[in-house]
Chains A and B, each alone.
Chain A
Amino acid sequence: MSLRVIGANLIVSIKSFYREKTAVFFRIAFPIILILVFGTIFMNQDNVRFDFYVQDLDQTNSSAELVKTLELSEKFKITNVDPAINATQYAKKNKLNLILVIPKDYESSLIQRMKRNDPNASATITYIYDPSSTSVDTKMQILNSVFAEINQKMSGKPSFITPVETSILSSKYRFIDFFVPGIIAMAAMTSSLFGAVNVNAELRQKGVTKKLSTTPITRTDWILSNVLYQFLLSIISTILMLLVSYAVFDVSLKLNFWLPVFVVLDVFAFVGIGMILTRVAKEAESAAAAANAIIYPMMFLSGTFFPVEMMPGFLQKFSRILPLYYVNEGLRASMIFVDNMMALRCSVIIGVFAAVAFVLGIMTTKWEDG
């Protein structure tokens, strides 16, 4: 191993990188854009003001008060619908996913119950809704709980069960906190794998590898240079991703030594796999195709974009054989839950995998043509 040789390779790699603007975009800007886009989508879900429509058939002070109560429960933006029209037709025509219909006898029933103490007097509120809408369930649940509260207050007795929330996390855990570690792991993986495959297949096809084989550079020097270069890129890109995440979304991720540990293991593992693919696939194109075949299942099934628990059982089992799963789990264990034992377990698993991939990568890399 020669540090001077590794240094020379690093200089060439870094210069080639920043002179190729598309590479810079995909490596540095693309993951940040992903974080911004997904972060914004799911951030809005946290503060969303649901809107729905009300058709007040009663048109009395009491019914107006009910609408006001609903509006005041912070999350709703309510639009009134003309009581004279057919609400179902109106919803269909205007693609509304929820119209709440207050019955004509609302006030009279209320008086019957409150003033005359008639326990049989009640009001039926109708939801006219579109079941194919994804948000309508949530809206109806919230409305149900508001109505339950009103009913409870009318009974005049204080509530017996009062739920209090105590999070296992020190601060509020949001989707973005889940998402950012996944993107860090994914960015390091794709860059390492594609970097190793593209650079090596291209250099071999162009004959640069042949020239290199007549110099004192060794296979270990070469692969270590690749790993070091990808590690540098990953560190830079990770720092930028975290800066944006803290600044824009105020994430509550914890930074500790596990972050660089997982990034470096991620890089080692996937540079190693890239080296093996380069050797197995003869042409640059087939190597890239093989890399894609590895990247996509890894990206979608190892919990990068959504939790593995959301998948059916057999896919969850499958995800446990994917190396990226352990990087994701390890990074989340350390950055969200500060669970050192879990992080250690994940790091051992991915560490063993990385060592095997790296050694196989060195063994399969060939300078000579035989």
Chain B
Amino acid sequence: MTKEAEHAIDVEKLTKRYGNLLAVNDISFTVRRGEVFAFLGPNGAGKTTTVEIIETIRRPTSGKVSLLGMDVTKKKRKIVRRIGVLPQGFSSFDRITVRETIRYYSRLFNCRDTDIDGLIELANLKDKSKEQFKNLSGGLKQRLGIAIAIVNDPEVVFLDEPSTGLDPRARRDVWDVLLGLKKKGKTVFLTTHYMEEAELLADTVAIISKGSIVAMGSPGELIENNANYLSLTLQSVDEKVFEIVQKMGFEPVNANHNNIKVRVEHPDDIRKILNAIKDAGASFLNLDVRKPNLEEVFLKLTGAALREDLAKEVA
């Protein structure tokens, strides 16, 4: 297989500056065809800038970005026909209905055989197909935006923060639609600041902080490589427990309701802690052992990145 055929997106040393502000700092990554790739980062990390450069909306300061084997700065007209985009904060014509909006975008792409009913069904908007855009709730608008993003049956779909600002229920509904896209085998480039979203949907996650990619891999790999520990929570402990654990060389953290949290490297450590508590005649009501999730990886990595920046500044 050639490189172009295998990689949907190829980003090499991409940098974007706005005046003095360095929004994207020399990042490189590839997105394989057919995978769901999530760009995970806090607000202002450079997610949208990066995705908009790949979508041909913005121009890079330096670096090379190819999409489906084409240079995004040179082949805009060809590229836009083969991609679908849900921009951040998607909006459309206020007084045009759901069905009319889908038909409008289908005409822009000169698609004569768009399955409008199929798209309405995929976005779960059957009851709302005659509703005008201005009357839709935030979640419904986003789902319509996703339907429109695939109106031209694109090879790569970009979804920029598809569930930001939605309530948990509406967010779940959007995820259902995204899972539908995944099932169709589309290459999906997703930006989000919800760990849960990335963990649930993505094959590959790139964590971006302050314009740089700090980690990349499958959610499992990221957890394995960056958070190889267990979280032990002891509930309703008596006063002595904190001291006992501390003396053993661990770093317990006081949580609410007389709970303490301890991070341990090895399952054996848990047994040792429990024995020590038992030997001291102290007690606790309940315990909980949990593997870390992407959220903890994210906090750890972006926290580390912040400290690195500080270190650089001091140096």
Quick one: given A19-B132, A214-B80, are A4 and B110 in contact (CB under 8 Å)? yes
The answer on a CB contact under 8 Å between A207 and B90 is: yes
A12 cross-chain contacts in B, Cβ below 8 A: 93, 96, 100, 104
The answer on a CB contact under 8 Å between B87 and A210 is: yes
A11 cross-chain contacts in B, Cβ below 8 A: 100, 104
The answer on a CB contact under 8 Å between B52 and A369 is: yes
Quick one: given A8-B108, A15-B100, are A368 and B93 in contact (CB under 8 Å)? no
Chain A residue at smallest Cβ distance from B154? A214
A213 cross-chain contacts in B, Cβ below 8 A: 56-57
The answer on a CB contact under 8 Å between B95 and A16 is: yes
Q: Is B291 part of the binding interface, using a Cβ–Cβ cutoff of 8 Å?
A: no
The answer on a CB contact under 8 Å between B110 and A211 is: no
Q: Give the docked Cα–Cα distance between A20 and B110 (Å).
A: 28
Contact with A along B241-263 (1 / 0, CB 8 A): 00000000000000000000000
Quick one: given A207-B90, A210-B87, A211-B92, are A217 and B100 in contact (CB under 8 Å)? no
Chain A residue at smallest Cβ distance from B112? A4
Quick one: given A368-B59, A369-B58, A370-B58, are A216 and B108 in contact (CB under 8 Å)? yes
Residue in A4, A213, A369, A370 with the greatest tally of chain B CB atoms within 10 Å: A213
A15 cross-chain contacts in B, Cβ below 8 A: 95-96, 100
Q: Is A117 part of the binding interface, using a Cβ–Cβ cutoff of 8 Å?
A: no
The answer on a CB contact under 8 Å between A214 and B96 is: no
A5 cross-chain contacts in B, Cβ below 8 A: 107-108, 110
B107 cross-chain contacts in A, Cβ below 8 A: 4-5, 7-8
Q: Is B275 part of the binding interface, using a Cβ–Cβ cutoff of 8 Å?
A: no
The answer on a CB contact under 8 Å between B93 and A217 is: no
Contact with B along A179-211 (1 / 0, CB 8 A): 000000000000000000000000000111011
Q: Is B55 part of the binding interface, using a Cβ–Cβ cutoff of 8 Å?
A: yes
B130 cross-chain contacts in A, Cβ below 8 A: none
B90 cross-chain contacts in A, Cβ below 8 A: 207, 211
B63 cross-chain contacts in A, Cβ below 8 A: none
Contact with A along B47-76 (1 / 0, CB 8 A): 000001001111100000000000000000
A8 cross-chain contacts in B, Cβ below 8 A: 103-104, 107-108
Quick one: given A7-B107, A15-B100, are A214 and B83 in contact (CB under 8 Å)? yes
Chain B residue at smallest Cβ distance from A16? B95
Q: Give the docked Cα–Cα distance between A307 and B189 (Å).
A: 63
Give A214 Cβ to nearest chain B Cβ, in Å.
4
Give A133 Cβ to nearest chain B Cβ, in Å.
51
Q: Is A2 part of the binding interface, using a Cβ–Cβ cutoff of 8 Å?
A: yes
Q: Give the docked Cα–Cα distance between A12 and B96 (Å).
A: 7
Chain A residue at smallest Cβ distance from B105? A215
Q: Give the docked Cα–Cα distance between A158 and B191 (Å).
A: 100
A216 cross-chain contacts in B, Cβ below 8 A: 77, 80-81, 108-110
Contact with B along A1-39 (1 / 0, CB 8 A): 010110110011001100110000000000000000000
Q: Give the docked Cα–Cα distance between A8 and B110 (Å).
A: 10
Chain A residue at smallest Cβ distance from B158? A214
The answer on a CB contact under 8 Å between B77 and A208 is: no
Give A208 Cβ to nearest chain B Cβ, in Å.
5
B87 cross-chain contacts in A, Cβ below 8 A: 207, 210-211, 214
Q: Give the docked Cα–Cα distance between A4 and B132 (Å).
A: 23
Q: Is B239 part of the binding interface, using a Cβ–Cβ cutoff of 8 Å?
A: no
Give B288 Cβ to nearest chain A Cβ, in Å.
44
Chain A residue at smallest Cβ distance from B148? A211
B52 cross-chain contacts in A, Cβ below 8 A: 369
The answer on a CB contact under 8 Å between A208 and B91 is: yes
Chain B residue at smallest Cβ distance from A215? B108
Chain B residue at smallest Cβ distance from A19? B95
Give A64 Cβ to nearest chain B Cβ, in Å.
71
Please provide the chain B residues from 81 to 126 with a CB less than 8 Å away from any CB of chain A in the complex: 81, 83, 85, 87-96, 100, 103-105, 107-110
Q: Give the docked Cα–Cα distance between A22 and B92 (Å).
A: 20
Chain A residue at smallest Cβ distance from B108? A215
The answer on a CB contact under 8 Å between B108 and A210 is: no
The answer on a CB contact under 8 Å between B55 and A214 is: yes
Give A106 Cβ to nearest chain B Cβ, in Å.
74
Chain A residue at smallest Cβ distance from B88? A207
B56 cross-chain contacts in A, Cβ below 8 A: 213-214, 368
Please provide the chain A residues from 275 to 312 with a CB less than 8 Å away from any CB of chain B in the complex: none
6 more contacts with CB within 8 A, not counting A19-B132, A216-B110, are A8-B104, A12-B93, A15-B96, A212-B108, A214-B85, A215-B80
Chain A contacts to B: CB under 8 angstroms: 2, 4-5, 7-8, 11-12, 15-16, 19-20, 206-208, 210-217, 367-370
**A–B Cβ pairs within 8 angstroms, 11 of them:** A12-B104, A15-B95, A207-B87, A207-B88, A211-B90, A212-B108, A214-B56, A216-B80, A367-B57, A368-B57, A368-B58
Shortest Cβ-Cβ A-B pairs, 6 listed: A8-B107, A214-B85, A206-B91, A19-B95, A215-B108, A16-B95
